[in-house]
Structure 1
Amino acid sequence: MMKTLFRISVLAALLPLATQAAEYTQVDVKQSAINFSYQQMGVAMDGKFNEFTSTLKFDPAKPAEGKAVFDVALASIDAGTEEANGEVAGKDWFNTAAFPQAHFESGAIKALGDNKFEVSGKLTIKGKTIDVVVPSSFKEEGEKGIFAGSFTIRRGDFAIGEGSWSTFDIVANDIQVKFTITANQQ
């Protein structure tokens, strides 16, 4: 009898938590950002991408079942000036005429505790696909879920900067990608 009462008490205590779980599927692009930073001639530089589309499915109670797909319009880059934007859209850099999008697709989401997650997936830029691990945090604010994180790619792995730009003496090889993604519940 005591065991049964204990089990009922535990289930009753957990029930409110289970009903609060929600699935986040609708990315609010206007409240989201994909930024990047790098070094050029030893000086820190920042930029962002203004357009992307996504498919998201995330339930904080079942993170392993989650899925994320992002397509970033590379021509939407803001590297600080119109001249820089035109240069990086060109053939030696992103070659947006031939490769208009970067694509990320998650393969696994692993809970690390304390609202931290590790998202493993594949990132494709300029036709080259590389496995990446993206550390991310998640917090709920009302009916919104906010994902934030950063990871580093090496531009040489994707041939971003070809010809005379393929060395790393002027523009560093490491590019840090930083994101904040706001999503609404289903």
Structure 2
Amino acid sequence: MKPTVFHSVSQRAQRVTLAGIAALSLFGVSLAHADVDLGKSSVIATTKQMNVPVDGKFKKFSAQLNFDPAKPTAGSANVTIDTASYDLGADDYNKQAQGKEWFDSATFPSATFVSSAIAPAGGNQYKITGKLTIKGKSQTIVVPVSIASQGGTQTFDGSVPIKRSQFDVGTGEWKDTSVVADEVVIKFHLVASKK
């Protein structure tokens, strides 16, 4: 099914970029906690359309994170993202992101991240290794994370680049990375209640 044709290359590029961002932002949520406060948390994916940065945000995800700073290597993260929840700020763009060329949400309603290791990286810095799966394609990624505790909450912050092409996000006419960049940077700020 061909995507709706926009009236200008710029609009087409923006649509593609936004959809690509959506797919990539999934893994950023990998650090989420079982009791994540969605009102205070954000996962933003930034890509470039014709060299102009474009941001997008996922609104629905669930996560289970077991993390004790005294025993970081014993921790784990398991995240599931609703691929249809990506919000680009416009219904038309959101529907394109759900389409077959991008997320194909009808066939792949969820994207997942499952950790395999958490390693200290000095101070409150950690590296979480795990498998990110989008559209049935899996890649092992390492996500750098800063973890801070205050009162009854823990905050997880980080940023990591991924390539949309590794997950078949942006196929067909969107496979060309000259209009919408292959690299997507996922930035996350997650606030969770301590267990």
- CA distance in structure 1 between the aligned counterparts of 2:108 and 2:159, rounded to whole angstroms: 23
- CA distance in structure 1 between the aligned counterparts of 2:106 and 2:166, rounded to whole angstroms: 20
Equivalence for 1:112: 121
Structure 1 residues 39-75: Cα deviation after superposition (integer angstroms, max 9, x where no partner): 0111110000000001110001110000111111111
**Are the equivalent residues in 2 in contact too, given 1:112–1:118 (CA < 8 A)?**
yes
Equivalence for 1:38: 47
Q: Secondary structure at the match of 1:123?
A: strand
Instruction: Report runs of 4+ in structure 1 exceeding 3 Å deviation.
Output: none
Query: What amino acid is aligned across from residue 90 of structure 1 in structure 2?
Result: G
Equivalence for 2:14: none
Q: Secondary structure at the match of 1:105?
A: strand
- Structure 1 residue 29: deviation in Å? 2.7
Query: 1 or 2, which has the higher strand percentage?
Result: 1
> Where in structure 1 are there 5+ consecutive unaligned residues?
1-23
Equivalence for 1:87: 96
Question: Root-mean-square deviation (CA), in Å?
Answer: 1.1
- CA distance in structure 2 between the aligned counterparts of 1:129 and 1:25, rounded to whole angstroms: 23
1:139 equivalent in alignment to 2:161 = no
Equivalence for 1:148: 157
- CA distance in structure 2 between the aligned counterparts of 1:74 and 1:119, rounded to whole angstroms: 22
- Structure 1 residue 182: deviation in Å? 1.2
TM-score, structure 1 as length reference: 0.85
- CA distance in structure 2 between the aligned counterparts of 1:26 and 1:126, rounded to whole angstroms: 26
1:49 equivalent in alignment to 2:62 = no
Q: Map 1:5-24 onto structure 2 (within 5 A).
A: none
- CA distance in structure 2 between the aligned counterparts of 1:37 and 1:70, rounded to whole angstroms: 20
> Where in structure 2 are there 5+ consecutive unaligned residues?
1-32
Larger-Rg structure: 1
- CA distance in structure 2 between the aligned counterparts of 1:29 and 1:179, rounded to whole angstroms: 12
Q: Secondary structure at the match of 1:168?
A: coil
- CA distance in structure 1 between the aligned counterparts of 2:80 and 2:34, rounded to whole angstroms: 16
Query: What amino acid is aligned across from residue 111 of structure 1 in structure 2?
Result: P
Equivalence for 1:177: 186
TM-score, structure 2 as length reference: 0.81
Paired positions, count: 163
- CA distance in structure 2 between the aligned counterparts of 1:139 and 1:77, rounded to whole angstroms: 27
Query: What amino acid is aligned across from residue 167 of structure 1 in structure 2?
Result: D
Equivalence for 1:26: 35
Structure 1 residues 80-107: Cα deviation after superposition (integer angstroms, max 9, x where no partner): 3211111111011100000111100111
**Are the equivalent residues in 1 in contact too, given 2:34–2:62 (CA < 8 A)?**
no
Name the % identity.
40
- Structure 1 residue 25: deviation in Å? 5.2
**Are the equivalent residues in 2 in contact too, given 1:25–1:58 (CA < 8 A)?**
no
- CA distance in structure 1 between the aligned counterparts of 2:66 and 2:38, rounded to whole angstroms: 15
Q: Secondary structure at the match of 1:114?
A: coil
- CA distance in structure 2 between the aligned counterparts of 1:97 and 1:80, rounded to whole angstroms: 21
- Structure 1 residue 170: deviation in Å? 1.1
